[in-house]
Structure 1
Amino acid sequence: MYHDPEIYALEQERIFKGKAWNILCLEAEIPNPGDFQICHVGDTPVVVNRDEDGKVYAFVNRCAHRGAEIVREPRGNGTDHTCIYHAWCYSRKGELTGVPFRRGANGKGGMPASFEPKQHNLQTLKVESFKGCLFGSFDHDIEPLEEYLGPLMVDHVGGLLDKPIKILGYQRQRIKANWKLYPENIKDAYHGSLLHEFNRTFGLSRLTQVAGGYMDEKHRHSILFQFSGSDSDEVALRAYREAGVQRGELMKLNDYDMVRIIPENDKGMSTRVINLFPNGFFHQIANTLAMRKLRTLGVDEFELTWTLFGYEDDTPEMTEHRLNQANMVGPAGLISMEDGEALELVHRTTKTAQNEYAVIEMGGVGPIGDRDTRVNEVTVRGFWAYYSQLMGIAPEGAEQ
C-alpha cells in the first residue's frame, strides 16, 4: 500500500480528484481582489485567486496550449495569468482571454478559423469556504462542504476558526515516505508520548491523561485530544516506568513559558490534533495554532506546508507566546521533528517487506468507533476503512 506506483496513480484519481474536499488555503492568505496563491491537490498544481467581485476561483495550473506551468510565484497579486511559453493569457476564473498571433502574422499562419477560446479554458475546481478555510474539489457534484465535514469537525475546526485570524508565518517540510503514513501518524493516538519525550516530560501529552480519539460517522476525519493536568507527574512517572519507558528526568527548559497554557477555548482541551481527509490538518498545541497541508510527490515522498496563525484581536504578548510555542512544531520542532524521522524509518524498511502486514490493534478490534483514551489506534483503522471504500478495495463484510 505504501510502495506500489499503480496504487498511487489510482489514489490521485479516486481520492484527490474524486469525491473529496481538499484544503486549498485560508481566505486570510488572499484577502484582496487579485490576490493569488498556488497549492496542490494531490500532485496536481492549482491556483487559487480572488476576483474583483470578491469571489474565490481555483483552476489547474497547467496551460491548455502545451501544458506548461502558468503561475510560478508562490503568491502575489495580478489582474490575469500569462503563460511564459507562448503568452497565452487567462483570467482569474481560468478563462482563456488572449492568444498572441491567433490570426497569424503578415497574413500567414495563426489558429484555424474553427478555434474557439471558450473550449480551451483551464480546468476548474468547485470552491467552498468554511469559517475562512477554502476547500476545493474536482467533483462538482460533491456533497456540500459542511455535510462532508460533519458535526464533529464543524464544531472543532469551526472553534479554531471562529474569530478573524492573522497569518504568523510558514514552515515547509519534505519527508521521504509515502503520504498515507502522515494521516496514519496524525490519527495514531498511541505514539504521542512514547516517540515524543518532550510531550511526556512536560505533561503536554501522556497516555495517563484524560484523552481520546474521535471520528466523524464515516471515519474519514478525526480528532485526538487531551487535557493537560488531568494526571500527576508521580502517576505518570510510575506508569511509564512500569511500562518500561523512562521519562526524561534530565530534560529541562530554561524558559518554561513554552509549555505554559493560557486557557482560550471553551472545551478546556490542552491539545487538539485534527485530520480532515485527505490532505488537511489543524492543531492547537497549548496556544500555538496551525493548519497543515499535504502535497503528494510520488510513492516515496510528500511535502507539508505549515501555516501558523493567531487571531486579529491577539495582544502583542499573545502573538509572541504563540510564536514561542511554535518552536514545538514544524520540521525542527521539539515535538514534530521526530514524526518525520519515524515515518522515513517505516517507509525505508517496508520497501523490502511489501507482502507483509502492520499490526493496528491497539484500542481493540471489532467495530470502529470513538475511544476515551489515547492508548488507541482505532482512528487509524477508520482511515483505512474509508480509504478502502474510495479505492474500491474494501473486503466483503468490512465495516463501512
Structure 2
Amino acid sequence: MKLDDIPVRLATAPDPLDSFRWPNADYTRTPYRVFTDEAIHEREMARIFRGPTWNYLALEAEIPEPGCFKTVQVGNVPVVVSRTPQGEVAAFVNRCAHRGATVVREEFGRADNHPCIYHQWNYDSAGSLCGVPYRRGLNGSGGYPADFKPAEHGLQRLRVALYKGLIFGSFSEDAPDLIEYLGPNIVMHLDRIFVKPVKVLGYHRQRISANWKLYFENIKDPYHAGLLHTFMATFGVYRSTQRGNTLLSPGGGHAVVYSVTQTDDAAGVREAYKGTTNKYQADFELAHPQLLEWTPDFHDGIGNLIISVFPNLVVHQILNTLATRQVRPLGTGGLELYWTYFGFEDDAAERTEARLRQLNLVGPAGYISMEDGEAIRLVQQSIAGERDASSFIEMGGRGPIVDADHVVTEVCTRGLWQQYARTMGFEPEVAR
C-alpha cells in the first residue's frame, strides 16, 4: 500500500468553551470573563449575530424608494440594506464575492447597481451578480471557465422581516417567525410607538470603550437611571419613585421598562433620595425650561420608555424624543452605538422643533446618555484580565425571571443573561 493510499483522519481539538457554564441557574451572577475573553467574543459573532436571531438593520423610512440603500453592521459583518426595483427590501453582506473587498462604501445613497472598485464585479440592488468584466476573456486570452455562472456568485443574502416600519435581518434559517421571536410584550409596545408612518430627523454615532453586552445590561437596568443620572432625578424625567413596569419576552432576552411621569410627590422623592450623593437637587432650575416642555404623543402618561430586543436593538421614547439605537460590537473592549432619531410624517413644524430640542437629553453628549457610556467604560476598565469573579445581580430578588410591576429591579438584566447563555451554549448544568 502506498503512503498516499492511507486515509488521514485529523483529530478535532475540543473547544474549551464547551465546558464553560454559567455559575448559577437564576442568573444573579455574571462572570466578568464574558466581557473580555476573545474566544467568547468569536463565538458570539457566530452563534448570536450569525445565529438564529433577528438583528435590527434600519427603518423602512431610511430607504423609501427603489435603489435607496444604507450600510449597517450585524455583529462584525458589514451589511447593505436596499430597496429593490420591485419595492421589496433586501439585505446582503457588503463583501465582494470575488476577492472580498467592500463593495458599497457610502453610508447612504441611491443606485441601481453596486460595482466593486477592485475588479468591477457589479451587483444589483438585491445583491445578485449582474456584470463581470472580461468574462469571455480579452482578445482571445483569459476569461473565466466555461462553467462559470454569475448566479452562483452573488453576495450572501440575509433573511429579511419587517414590522411596523422596522427592518430585521437574520443569517439563519432556524430563526423563528419575527413576531414569535419578539413576543407579546415587545409587539405591544412597538405597536404603541410606531402607530403611524415616521420620518427620520437625524443621527448620532458614538464609540464607547466597553463590551457591547455592558451596554445591553445598562439599558435593561431601570433603577440605575434614577441614581446615575442627576438630571433625570432632579427634573423628574425619570425616577424610581415613579410608577412603572418591567416586562420581559418569553425567553427573557427582550424587555420593556417604562415609568409614568408625575406619579410621585416631593416629600416621597426627598425621602427616597436620602443618603445619595447629589442625585436629587430640589433647588435646581433650568435656565431654559422649554427643554422639558412635553406635549404627549401618547395618552398613557408614559414619559420614559425603553424597548430592547436581543441582540442589537433599543427603541426609546423620552418625553417627545423618539429614536432607535443599534448596538455594533467592536471587539471585546469596544462598541459603536448608532442613534437614529425620528418623528412622525404628519408632525407640525413646532413638534419637530421640540423633538430636535430634546435631543440634548440623549446621544453622546446628552444630559442623560453621556453618563451611561462612562459608567460602562469604568466597568470594562476594572475587569480587564479578570477570569474568576462575577457581578452581583439581586436587586428585585432571586428566583424566577418574570415581569415586575415596578422598576426597582434587575430582573431584565437576568433575563438578558438567560437568553445569552442559552444561545451561546453556556447554560448552567441544572438548567440543562
The TM tier, using the shorter chain, reads: over 0.9
Aligned-pair CA distance for 1:163 = 0.5
Conserved? CA contact 1:327–1:333, under 8 Å: yes
| Aligned counterpart, 1:356 | 389
| Aligned counterpart, 1:237 | 270
| Aligned counterpart, 2:83 | 50
Aligned-pair CA distance for 1:107 = 0.8
Distance in structure 1 (CA, Å) of the matches to 2:354 and 2:372: 24
Deviating above 6 A after TM superposition, structure 1's stretches of 4 or more consecutive aligned residues are: none
Superposed, 1:252-331 pairs within 5 Å as 252-331=285-364
| Aligned counterpart, 2:52 | 19
Of structures 1 and 2, the larger Rg is shown by 2
Cα offsets for 1:310-334 (capped at 9, x unmatched): 0011111111111111110000000
Structure scoring higher RCO (CA < 8 A, sep ≥ 6) equals 2
| Aligned counterpart, 2:150 | 117
Aligned-pair CA distance for 1:144 = 1.4
Query: Residue 200 of structure 1 is aligned with which of 233, 241, 244?
Result: 233
Conserved? CA contact 2:230–2:278, under 8 Å: no
Conserved? CA contact 2:121–2:133, under 8 Å: yes
Asked if 1:40 corresponds to 2:73, the answer is: yes
Give the AA of the match of 1:313. D
Conserved? CA contact 2:124–2:130, under 8 Å: yes
| Aligned counterpart, 2:404 | 371
Cα offsets for 1:174-204 (capped at 9, x unmatched): 0011000011000011210110000100011
Aligned-pair CA distance for 1:60 = 0.2
Conserved? CA contact 2:234–2:279, under 8 Å: no
Conserved? CA contact 2:228–2:279, under 8 Å: no
Conserved? CA contact 2:261–2:301, under 8 Å: no
Query: Residue 378 of structure 2 is aligned with which of 338, 345, 367?
Result: 345
Superposed, 1:3-14 pairs within 5 Å as 3-14=36-47
Aligned-pair CA distance for 1:248 = 2.4
Aligned-pair CA distance for 1:261 = 2.4
Conserved? CA contact 1:241–1:247, under 8 Å: no
Conserved? CA contact 1:214–1:371, under 8 Å: yes
Give the AA of the match of 1:381. R
| Aligned counterpart, 2:247 | 214
Conserved? CA contact 1:125–1:140, under 8 Å: no
Aligned-pair CA distance for 1:102 = 1.3
What secondary structure, in the 3-state scheme, does the structure 1 residue paired with 2:184 have?
Answer: helix
Task: Return the TM-score normalized by structure 2.
Answer: 0.90
What secondary structure, in the 3-state scheme, does the structure 2 residue paired with 1:110 have?
Answer: coil
Distance in structure 1 (CA, Å) of the matches to 2:96 and 2:363: 33
Query: Residue 159 of structure 2 is aligned with which of 126, 136, 140?
Result: 126
The count of aligned residue pairs is: 399
Conserved? CA contact 1:287–1:322, under 8 Å: yes
- In the alignment, structure 1 segments of 5+ residues that lack a partner are none
Conserved? CA contact 2:227–2:279, under 8 Å: no
Let me know the Cα RMSD of the aligned residues: 1.3
Superposed, 1:35-184 pairs within 5 Å as 35-184=68-217
How much identity, in percent, do the aligned residues show?
49
Give the AA of the match of 1:148. Y
Distance in structure 1 (CA, Å) of the matches to 2:271 and 2:277: 10
Give the AA of the match of 1:43. N
Aligned-pair CA distance for 1:263 = 2.3
What secondary structure, in the 3-state scheme, does the structure 2 residue paired with 1:326 have?
Answer: helix
Distance in structure 2 (CA, Å) of the matches to 1:108 and 1:117: 20
| Aligned counterpart, 2:12 | none
Conserved? CA contact 2:92–2:158, under 8 Å: yes
Aligned-pair CA distance for 1:244 = 6.0
Aligned-pair CA distance for 1:247 = 1.7
Conserved? CA contact 1:32–1:50, under 8 Å: yes
Conserved? CA contact 1:4–1:299, under 8 Å: yes
Distance in structure 2 (CA, Å) of the matches to 1:7 and 1:254: 48
Aligned-pair CA distance for 1:140 = 2.8
Conserved? CA contact 1:94–1:124, under 8 Å: yes
Task: Return the TM-score normalized by structure 1.
Answer: 0.97
| Aligned counterpart, 1:396 | 429
Conserved? CA contact 1:38–1:48, under 8 Å: yes
Distance in structure 2 (CA, Å) of the matches to 1:254 and 1:350: 40
Give the AA of the match of 2:130. T
Give the AA of the match of 2:40. I
Give the AA of the match of 2:219. I
Distance in structure 1 (CA, Å) of the matches to 2:401 and 2:205: 33
